[in-house]
Amino acid sequence: MTRRRQIYEGKAKILYEGPEPGTIVQYFKDDATAGNGAKKGIITGKGVLNNRISEYLMLKIGEIGIPTHFIKRLNMREQLVKTVEIIPLEVVVRNIAAGSISKRLGIEEGTRLPRSIVEFYLKNDELNDPIVSEEHISAFDWATPQEMDEITAYTFRINDFLSGLFLGIGIQLVDFKLEFGRVWENDEMHVVLADEISPDNCRFWDVQSGEKLDKDRFRRDLGKVEEAYQEVARRLGIFPEMNSSETNTETSNGKGLESI
Ligand code: TMP
């Protein structure tokens, strides 16, 4: 790790300069935070699982024609991605009411929304990522109207695609958060999906039992946090040898995930 220049350390990931210009290495940590850093902890093996889950979902999203920053997975905790200029928005899609929309609008958690709703939040930890409207976004030039059209269209397509993919493995995609970035290729700028898609930034509920299979287990002290992340990976067919009843990042052959 000393070989490379660290560009940025976030709550769940570290970014290093990549081997070639225009590339970055994303390192996935086990660190977990909630409430904008108010609650801190470690979810053992989370980085390994999120690296694999995000790789899987980014590749699938790429296959339906949506450009992403993902290039390839390098090892258990790292992936190579394109350098992007992050658009300073968190794009949240909601299918079922949960979390902040339930609190803000008094909608009981679990209520199916009349249609999928997209919300935009400004990426600014000091301000606690406030919700913003497209009026704010265009007035302050955080993204152009053309970029917003593209982001919104990509977001709804990703939601339709992922909702179906997860329903096929018995999981309801309740809501999730996306980030987008700008890349320049052949003197042209375009928008690509960036960051990660994992149980850290999605709400996944088991269709049968309603059990939460995401970071809400950590946020709300529900226990079995690692197991929930493992279960999502197992259902996606990642680490098929993994048994969901295992209580740590050991696989059924007794080896730690890091050694696979
Ligand atoms: P919320 O209900 O807390 O607004 O969260 C909506 C979705 O967005 C949920 O799946 C978690 C995700 N999310 C993030 O990934 N990062 C964040 O900073 C926040 C606030 C939410």
**What is the number of structural domains in the chain?**
2
| CATH code for position 25 | 3.30.200.20
Same domain, 23 and 57: yes
126 is a domain residue: yes
Which residue from 92, 102, 104, 212 has its CB within 8 A of the most atoms of ligand 1, so it is best to mutate?
92
Q: What is the pTM assigned to this prediction?
A: 0.92
Helix, coil or strand: residue 85:
strand
Taking only the tens of pLDDT, the chain with its 260 residues reads 457 899 999 999 999 999 999 999 999 999 999 998 899 999 999 999 999 999 999 999 999 999 999 999 999 999 999 999 999 999 999 999 999 999 999 999 999 999 999 999 999 999 999 999 999 999 999 999 999 999 999 999 999 999 999 999 999 999 999 999 999 988 999 999 999 999 999 999 999 999 999 999 999 999 999 999 999 999 999 975 554 443 344 443 444 455 43
Task: In whole angstroms, give the CA distance from residue 164 to residue 144.
Answer: 30
Helix, coil or strand: residue 71:
strand
Q: Where in the sequence is the domain holding 153, given as residue range(s)? A: 86-206
Nearest atom, ligand 1, residue 36 CA: 18
243 is a domain residue: yes
The DSSP letter of residue 108 is P
Nearest atom, ligand 1, residue 202 CA: 10
Same domain, 147 and 94: yes
218 is a domain residue: no
256 is a domain residue: no
98 is a domain residue: yes
Same domain, 53 and 75: yes
User: Residue 106 in contact with residue 90, Cβ under 8 Å?
Assistant: no
